[in-house]
Amino acid sequence: AQSVTQPDIHITVSEGASLELRCNYSYGATPYLFWYVQSPGQGLQLLLKYFSGDTLVQGIKGFEAEFKRSQSSFNLRKPSVHWSDAAEYFCAVVLNRDDKIIFGKGTRLHILP
């Protein structure tokens, strides 16, 4: 079945350390790809998106993501996390331009002081 997978339910990193959150999709074609962040008690906010072109995408809050077609992945990275990055992160895909967005189950990021 076509899906988007976030293998890690929880990730804990120390403040100042680097971060990588994994996202894999299983579609025949390359979908449109997104990362959203949800802070506690808040709605979702778009961090970045990939439609085509350069496979390294820059987003807000210092985040970036790299699309790797060979691995069907769209992993989110940040060189140095801050305590305010503690949140839940959702990878999402849209298969075709007129399709609905499908979300992964999320990865909750915990930051150690």
Mapped onto helix, strand or coil, the DSSP state of residue 77 is strand
- Residue from 8, 27, 32, 66 touching other proteins (CB under 8 A): that is 32
Nearest 5°: the CA angle 59, 61, 64 is 35
Instruction: Please report, as residue ranges, which positions from 49 to 108 form the binding site for other proteins (by CB under 8 A).
Output: 49, 51, 90, 94, 97-98, 100-106
Question: Phi and psi (nearest 5°) for 70?
Answer: -65, -25
- Is residue 22 at the binding interface for other proteins, with CB under 8 A as the rule? no
Distance of closest approach, residue 7 Cβ to other proteins, in angstroms = 13
The per-residue DSSP string of 47-96 comes to EEEE-SS-SEEE-GGG-EEEEEGGGTEEEEEESS--GGG-EEEEEEEESS
Distance of closest approach, residue 37 Cβ to other proteins, in angstroms = 11
Q: Which two tokens stand for residue 59?
A: 């987003």
Side chain identity at residue 18, one-letter code: S
Which lies closer to other proteins via its Cβ, residue 12 or residue 42? 42
Which of the stretches 14-22, 42-50, 58-66, 78-86 binds other proteins when contact is defined by CB under 8 A? 42-50
Residues that bind other proteins (CB under 8 A): 9, 32, 41-46, 49, 51, 90, 94, 97-98, 100-106
